[in-house]
Homo-oligomer: A and B are copies of this chain.
Amino acid sequence: MGGDSPTEELVRGGVEIGRLREIEILFAGDAHRIETALRRLGETTGTLFDILDCPEVISMEEPPVRAVREKPSSSLVRGLRTLREERVDAFVSPGNTGAVVAGALLTLGRIRGIPRPAILAPLPTLPGPDLFLIDVGANTDCHAEHLLHFARMGITYAQELAEASRPTVALLNIGEEQSKGNRLTEAAFSLLEADDHLSFIGNVEAHQILETRPADVIVSDGFVGNICLKAIEGGVSGVTGFLKQAVRRSMATRLGALLMKPAFSSLRRTLSYRERGGAPLLGVNGVVVIAHGRSDARAISTAIDGARREVEARLTERIAGSIPLRVDHHGS
């Protein structure tokens, strides 16, 4: 509940991936609507699928922390509680991102040693493998140390989920030279450079991300990461719009566009978040995946499948295990 898509669409996504992977899905939300949706798909509760009735909904516009505190019976909060109680292995939501982050922090808590959880977004690249941008919105004001942790979590994700053997990490900046950037990137550069466990390759600029895939993981504060993600998205949809305008001007270009249809469809698939399995929230005690607010059945399917892969890779434990010990334990 709480996302932009109707319950039926979301349930269909869950049913499709549940059947395909034999994953048990617990749908958190309005029981009646979920049951109706399941029935239409020829499913009942009690087999692979079950319902967690939640009378409250947190909408996309609500202030996150307050919504989470004031709506304990929302699908968001109840869903996260079942994860904390280990009745489920993962939580997937197409709802209010800020509320998912706040809810996960309050309900699951942080992994010990991680000061701030962060959202990782997989991005398509021309060379092929996805690139991981972290953080894309969980933290709007960051210290350099937070970025260091984002780098470590991103690298663990790339190792465990994308099977990168020695993932490289770069810092999102406005120039490649070390001297470029603002106070935060300057401090983060030094920290990243000083960490022997990271393959830090330096600064990268936003225009390189899709075309050259300069690193496996790119770190930034959540404000800048979110702007970067949406600006890339805007560039992509802008070109598509301009091209449509230009095509309309002659018969030849219209015919050309018709012939190119398979290429445009393939492009759409390559670029779509619907195929990318949602954006994991890393650094909390449990697998939490944030699906796009406008997720259709396909997007929900891939997001749940992404969550399954995180569970099978034991990602939460891997991230906990990747934190260098800070406590002084001489003689203990």
Q: Give the total of A residues in contact with B, Cβ under 8 Å.
A: 64
Question: Do A61 and B245 touch (CB < 8 A)?
Answer: no
Chain B residue at smallest Cβ distance from A123? B238
Indicate the member of A61, A63, A174, A182 with the most B CB atoms within 10 Å: A174
Does A32 have its Cβ within 8 Å of any Cβ on chain B?
no
Tell me whether B238 and A210 are in contact (CB under 8 A): yes
Given A253-B262, A262-B252; A227-B237 close (CB under 8 Å):
no
A324 in the interface, Cβ–Cβ < 8 Å?
no
Q: Which residues of B contact A247 (CB under 8 A)?
A: 260, 263
- Residues facing B in A189-213 (CB within 8 A) are 205-211
- The copy count of this chain in the complex is 2
Q: Is the CB of B174 within 8 A of A223?
A: yes
* A222: min CB distance to chain B, Å: 8
Contact among B63, B236, B259 with A252 in the assembled complex (CB-CB below 8 Å): B259
Q: How far is the CA of A250 from the CA of B266 in the complex (A)?
A: 12
Q: How far is the CA of A267 from the CA of B185 in the complex (A)?
A: 35
The distance from the CB of A136 to the nearest CB of chain B, in whole angstroms, is: 9
Q: Is the CB of A235 within 8 A of B253?
A: no
Q: Cβ of A126: which chain B residues have Cβ within 8 Å of it?
A: 238, 241-242, 245
CB-CB under 8 A from A260, the residues of chain B are 247, 253, 256-257, 260
Q: Is A18 an interface residue (CB 8 A)?
A: no
Partner of A207 from B177, B185, B237 at Cβ < 8 Å: B237
Instruction: Spell out A's residues near B (CB within 8 Å).
Output: 61, 63, 124, 126, 137, 140-141, 172, 174, 177, 179, 181-183, 185, 205-211, 222-224, 226-243, 245-247, 249-250, 252-253, 255-264, 266-267, 270-271
